[in-house]
A and B are shown apart, each in its own frame.
Chain A
Amino acid sequence: MAYGKYSGFKGLFYKAGGPYHSFSLHRLTAMGIILFVGLHVAASFSMQQVLGTWGTTLNVIYESWWFQILVVFCVLFHTLNGIRIVTLDIWPKLIKYSREAVYLEWAIFIPIYILTVYLIVMKGITGAV
């Protein structure tokens, strides 16, 4: 491990707590988005250029309602955490409130995410919101 940067399970008990967990989640959700968007671009390109049916299969998985729950988590968390990072970088005086910034971020994230998941699940199960 170069430079001691670690984002695995041991990090759950690292005493830095909130800001460190958002660092780990930022990386995990980044890789999630890259995997999702990269495969989606490849699959759609293959659909358009008619290279077999694997592109259609992948896109059907992406558009299923249960997969959207994961995609929305990655996109929403990465966005909000990115905004937090940029805000603290632009105004360095705020860094002493970095822990509170993480609490604020979760306070914004959790209601939006729960509402979105509720709507996705209701639509997925019943077919209507």
Chain B
Amino acid sequence: MRPRYVPQRGINLDYLMWLFTRISGLGIVLLALLGLGSAMYMGARLQMDLPTVLRWTFFPNPNHVVNSNIPDVTLGWATAFWQIMQYLILFFAFTHAANGIRMIIEDYIGHTFWQPFVRALIALLWMGMVIVGIYVVLGSAY
């Protein structure tokens, strides 16, 4: 058997990502509640089905919601405030997910020869998702 890897105490990547996972988890919940509440306030009670409410809750972007054929969604929320909310939820969600995938994979592969390659691949995927997200937010019609 290989000797078991013991996590270091103090400030390091594992501790920071542990903390970030908690904070971003709570952040996503709060942002989702904000999106859900705003969607209800702006008409979701009357004219939306579940996929549309989910779209609005987790990514309040005009293109994302216009694709669901809802009338007049751009009136109430095509502002810088909602753009910032979109960036925040994208950053929180993608980083939370990338770190979660890293933890799950490293639980199975351990600290082997492949670890740096797996980390690099996950970092690349994370960067690709963030770039696509920024592109969608900036490229949406306001």
CA distance A34 to B109 in the complex (A): 20
DSSP class of B's interface residues: helix, strand, loop or mixed?
A: helix
Binds B, one of A9-17, A78-86, A101-109: A78-86
Query: Among the listed A33, A45, A68, A85, which residue makes an inter-chain contact with B136, where contact means beta carbons less than 8 Å apart?
Result: A45
Encode B82-95 as 1/0 by CB contact (under 8 A) with A.
00000000000100
Q: A86-B25, A89-B22 are in contact. Are A31 and B93 (CB under 8 A)?
A: no
Interfacial residues of chain B within 105-127, with CB under 8 A of chain A in the complex: 106-110
Cβ A27 vs Cβ B51 within 8 A: no
Q: Is B101 an interface residue (CB 8 A)?
A: yes
Interface of chain A residues 60 through 86 with chain B (CB within 8 A): 62-63, 68, 71-72, 75, 79, 82-83, 85-86
CB < 8 Å neighbour of A120 from B50, B64, B132: B50
How many residues of chain B get a CB closer than 8 Å to chain A's CBs? 27
Residues of A whose CB lies within 8 Å of any CB of B are 1-3, 5, 27, 30-31, 33-34, 37-38, 41, 44-45, 48, 62-63, 68, 71-72, 75, 79, 82-83, 85-86, 89, 116, 119-120, 123
Return the 7 tightest CB-CB contacts between A and B, nearest first: A2-B110, A5-B107, A82-B25, A63-B51, A86-B22, A34-B97, A30-B100
